[in-house]
Amino acid sequence: MFHAVTTEEAGKRTDVVVARLSGATRAQVAQAVKEGKVLVNGSAAKASRPLEAGERLEFEIAPRLEPVAIAEAIEIPIVYEDEDLIVVDKPAGMVTHPARGATGGTLVNAVLGHVGRALPGHELRPGLVHRLDRDTSGLLVVAKNEATLSALGIAMKARVVKREYRGLVRGIPEHERGTIEGPIARDPHNRLKFAIVADGKPAITHYETLLRFPKACELLFRLETGRTHQIRVHAAAIGHPLINDPVYGKLEPVFGLRGQALHAWRLSFTHPRSGIALEFEADPPPEYVRARELLAGSSEA
């Protein structure tokens, strides 16, 4: 693309103007600069070069490839399956669906490979009724057809799909059980995090203490709502962040965990076709169990 620098653009950085004109990200522009594909008056330009009115700006930006969900032969633990849905036990460390930076190896890729056909819904999130963070392990239901996806989506919004999590947290809450209410949205100071903010979406988490350790405990969390990072945000908000949470707590390598110590261990809902009440449980993975044992057996952990 060729462009004559306007008086309004004069003095601005080359990469800023190219990003605005092309709609590309700064990272894409930086790559184009590195490859010599951004020219000013016919010569390769630095990203930081200030432009002058009337200069000839030339650039070529590679199109951004959108991730797609394709079938992959990846084994995943299937807890239950019928003609309408699948309940899986997602391993910690597995991303739920494709996105930029994680275009393959996700749960969705694995499920597509397992069923051998297309699933309903969003092209990057086919069949998904709900999601789990990458490093959260546990139960997740996937719909195989439009009717099931719609029915379970409605049930989720009506809060009749029950989800329970086990989590290891720092410290011991003052009350053995309680409810945390706090609207959640992106953290205005850090776009990579979520936080309790006044104009966020309503979020409610119930908890009760399962096990107590010298400096930590295991809590049972019950979700009424399903906001992104909800348990992690709420646990940190009451002063008891999840063990080894790199975003809302701190990394604790001694435990050997991939990420936060959180496991979706129980899932219950009514089957959309049969009307039968279904309930599933999945034990926490070995690394979670080892972390719990370490907390129980050491006054230092």
Active site residues: 133
- Sheet with strand 2-4: strands edge to edge: 2-4, 56-59, 38-40, 43-44
Residues ≥6 apart with Cβ < 8 Å to 277: 268, 269, 270, 271
| DSSP assignment string, 116-175 | -S--SS-SSSTTBSS---TT-EEEEEEESSHHHHHHHHHHHHTT-SEEEEEEEEES--SS
CA 127 from centre of chain: 16
For residue 219, CA distances in Å to 92, 251, 287, 300 come to: 18, 19, 17, 20
